[in-house]
Amino acid sequence: MKFSQLFLPTLREAPSDADTVSARLMLRAGMIRKLASGIYEWLPLGLRVLRKVENIIREEMNAVRGQEVWLPLLLPKELWEETGRWGVYGKELFRLKDRKDAEFCLGPTHEEAITDLVRRDVRSYRQLPLMLYQFGTKFRDEIRPRFGIMRAREFLMKDAYSFHADEKDLESYYQEMFSAYKRICERCGFTYRAVEATTGAIGGSFSHEFMVLAEAGEEEIAWCECGYGANSEKAECVKPAGSNIADAPQKPVQEIHTPGLRSVAEVGKFLAAEPASFIKTMLYVADGVPVVALVRGDHEINEAKLQAYLGSATLLLANEKTIIEVTGAPTGFAGPVNLKAKVKVIADYAVSCMSAAVSGANKQDYHLTNIVAGRDFTPDAIIDLRMVAHTDACVKCGKPLQFSRGIEVGHTFKLGLKYSTSMKAVYLDAAGKENLMVMGCYGIGVSRIVAATIEQRNDENGIIWPLNVAPFAVAVVPVNMADESVRRTAEDIYRQLRERGIDVLLDDRDERAGIKFKDMDLIGIPYRITIGEKNLKNNNGEFKARWEKNDQSRLIPIDAIVAETVAIINR
Ligand code: ATP
Ligand code: MG
């Protein structure tokens, strides 16, 4: 491609609402433009990268026997009602009506659509296993679209779905898919971790997220050298070896007047007590039923763990009315001792080891001290109920956990029977008996990968593409187009590289060399061949990788430069 013919509107400054390095660089490099909040246009340079990522993914999906399909974006409400997700998906779902008032949504994910397709055409165990995948636009009305294309409302996803005769077959296929995802991350040049994750709105029993390590990541992951990794919502806390309550001196519970003091911080200051000596008492309503959750004052409750334990479809913080009904006191004075109503009390492991705890007295303006778990109150269950903390150890090996920010680029789920049950996707086994299909689903954010790559690979001058996804592998830069022999040499190298199948960009503009170099650095082409009058007199061209400093460039004889460049690229 010749620069003069390329629609590549680079910018010196990014628009002021660009909120991450990748968003700024993609806009400046002329890869994307913003049409509206969370809605972007892909320009030729951006699309070249997107297509390269897409092809890597396609190759890896085909390698695990996937077959590509293309499903509609416009999906009828009836399908979504079969699984109940028309109701639970909430405001993220773009909904619309046709001229006859029939309701549709724009697909945010395609479990319903694919399960419908497969249940209509797969009858026999002989047709299983089956893996179908697609590249398609997804629509999600995100609460907070941000970070450019990273959290957009319209974006490109690869979604794959596998159908199996039994759990065992899903299990072994899941491992294959897991390896395919790892290869995708490696081919995209990522520093990443595959971590255990919660299943969220997609559902199912088990999932992994593929997290690209970057400060701009919206999620925090906990990981360990031993190989353990989980997103911080899913990360398990070590169960204390035993309780030390028996050894500790136990004083009687004491009621203290704490007028208007509600939070751990306020009461802690008043009593000169550490947060770790508090029991935080939280009230929730799970599927309409109030429950009490207890965590230590210096810990954070993990609502996902509570909900998973309760197995409830919904979990909401209780309102003031419920709090008064259950505790007998207004917000801020709840505690595990003397609750007014009979409710389920779930405590974190750490709470069950406390011997002189402070908590609310279930009485306005009063707290209790010297509370002993097991003596003064008995939880209905003692579980891992808190968020992992930065001081925690790895559940697998006991070494200190490490924490990083991560961008979720992919998510693999063992769905099990969730969709085949509600949508009746069945097959006949060898004995002619009807069975439910066992499913897996595997998403990857194709457009998000492009932004994540830039987050990991950039410097003050611009993007630094890894070769596998670079829009062009080589830039040929004649420093002066007016010089006949410079121009001819550059054009000749350009032509030869093209003939060898290399993606090459010739900067044939009548611009100063400085401007050309700046643009090439901004758009991040991995290798640059510069042809200038001085070097050409000695029959040399200058070769430099994007990640090398200017003084690291080297001279290569003109008649060897094409062969050497090809060798470096194919290395
Ligand atoms: P997130 O937690 O970031 O919202 P998710 O759990 O909703 O992601 P999935 O439903 O698992 O995401 O979708 C599969 C993949 O699609 C994600 O791993 C991510 O790479 C990509 N993705 C999800 N939402 C967006 C979005 N709004 N914009 C761009 N890519 C997205
Ligand atoms: Mg989401």
Nearest residue (by CA) to ligand 1, atom 22, is 445
- Pocket lining: 173 vs ligand 1, CB cutoff 6 Å: no
- Pocket lining: 413 vs ligand 1, CB cutoff 6 Å: no
Paired sense of beta strands 474-478 and 527-531, if any:
parallel
Nearest residue (by CA) to ligand 1, atom 14, is 443
Reported confidence tier of residue 152, pLDDT bands at 50, 70, 90: very high
Compute, in angstroms, the gap from residue 426 CA to the centroid of ligand 1.
Answer: 29
Q: Best of 142, 156, 157 to mutate for ligand 1, by most ligand atoms within 8 A of CB?
A: 157
Nearest residue (by CA) to ligand 1, atom 26, is 151
Atom of ligand 1 nearest to the CA of 410: 18
Q: Best of 408, 413, 414, 442 to mutate for ligand 1, by most ligand atoms within 8 A of CB?
A: 408
Distance CA 333, CA 267 (A): 10
Distance CA 326, CA 314 (A): 19
**Is a pLDDT exceeding 80 seen at residue 422?**
yes
- Closest to 174 (Cα-Cα) out of 192, 162, 186, 158: 162
- Pocket lining: 448 vs ligand 1, CB cutoff 6 Å: yes
Q: Is 219 helix (H, G, I), strand (E, B) or coil?
A: strand
Compute, in angstroms, the gap from residue 308 CA to the centroid of ligand 1.
Answer: 21
Strand ranges in 43-80 using DSSP code E only, listed in sequence order: 67-68, 74-76
- Pocket lining: 85 vs ligand 1, CB cutoff 6 Å: no
Nearest residue (by CA) to ligand 1, atom 12, is 411
What ligand has the least distance to the C-alpha of 198? 1
- Closest to 449 (Cα-Cα) out of 412, 413, 407: 407
- Pocket lining: 159 vs ligand 1, CB cutoff 6 Å: no
CA distances from 539 to 533, 552, 555, 556, 559 (A): 10, 19, 9, 9, 8
User: CB atoms < 10 A from the CB of 223, how many?
Assistant: 22
- Pocket lining: 297 vs ligand 1, CB cutoff 6 Å: no
Higher pLDDT, 289 or 197: 289
Look at residue 198 in the predicted model and tell me its pLDDT: 74
Atom of ligand 1 nearest to the CA of 145: 27
For 439-505, the three-class secondary structure string (H helix, E strand, C coil) is EEEEEEEHHHHHHHHHHHCEECCEECCCHHHCCCCEEEEECCCCCHHHHHHHHHHHHHHHHCCCCEE
Flag the least confident range among 196-205, 328-337, 533-542.
196-205
- Per residue in 529-546, pLDDT (tens digit) is 999 999 999 999 999 999
What ligand has the least distance to the C-alpha of 140? 1
Q: What is the mean pLDDT of the chain?
A: 95
Atom of ligand 1 nearest to the CA of 209: 18
Mean pLDDT across the stretch 386-399? Answer: 94
Look at residue 508 in the predicted model and tell me its pLDDT: 97
Compute, in angstroms, the gap from residue 161 CA to the centroid of ligand 2.
Answer: 18
- Pocket lining: 231 vs ligand 1, CB cutoff 6 Å: no
- Per residue in 204-226, pLDDT (tens digit) is 667 999 999 999 999 999 999 99
Distance CA 152, CA 149 (A): 5
- Pocket lining: 14 vs ligand 1, CB cutoff 6 Å: no
- Closest to 477 (Cα-Cα) out of 542, 545, 538, 564: 542
Strand ranges in 388-457 using DSSP code E only, listed in sequence order: 402-416, 426-428, 434-436, 438-445
Nearest residue (by CA) to ligand 1, atom 16, is 445
What ligand has the least distance to the C-alpha of 111? 1
**Is a pLDDT exceeding 80 seen at residue 294?**
yes
Distance CA 444, CA 362 (A): 48
- Pocket lining: 208 vs ligand 1, CB cutoff 6 Å: no
- Closest to 286 (Cα-Cα) out of 338, 203, 349, 344: 344
Compute, in angstroms, the gap from residue 554 CA to the centroid of ligand 2.
Answer: 47
Nearest residue (by CA) to ligand 1, atom 3, is 408
- Pocket lining: 140 vs ligand 1, CB cutoff 6 Å: yes
Distance CA 346, CA 282 (A): 10
CA distances from 296 to 280, 281, 300, 357 (A): 6, 9, 8, 9
- Per residue in 482-524, pLDDT (tens digit) is 999 999 999 999 999 999 999 999 999 999 999 999 999 999 9
Flag the least confident range among 232-236, 267-271, 441-445, 567-571.
232-236
Nearest residue (by CA) to ligand 1, atom 2, is 408
Return the structure tokens found at 61. 């999906």
- Pocket lining: 212 vs ligand 1, CB cutoff 6 Å: no
Look at residue 244 in the predicted model and tell me its pLDDT: 57
Look at residue 200 in the predicted model and tell me its pLDDT: 64
Distance CA 360, CA 203 (A): 36
99, burial (CB in 10 Å: exposed 0-12, middle 13-18, buried 19+)? exposed
What ligand has the least distance to the C-alpha of 408? 1
- Pocket lining: 184 vs ligand 1, CB cutoff 6 Å: no
What ligand has the least distance to the C-alpha of 443? 1
- Pocket lining: 204 vs ligand 1, CB cutoff 6 Å: no
Supply angle C-alpha 406, 408, 411, rounded to 5.
140
% residues pLDDT > 70 (the chain): 97
Look at residue 313 in the predicted model and tell me its pLDDT: 84
What ligand has the least distance to the C-alpha of 445? 1
Return the structure tokens found at 71. 């499903």
Reported confidence tier of residue 452, pLDDT bands at 50, 70, 90: very high
Answer whether 0.85 is exceeded by the pTM: yes
Nearest residue (by CA) to ligand 1, atom 21, is 445
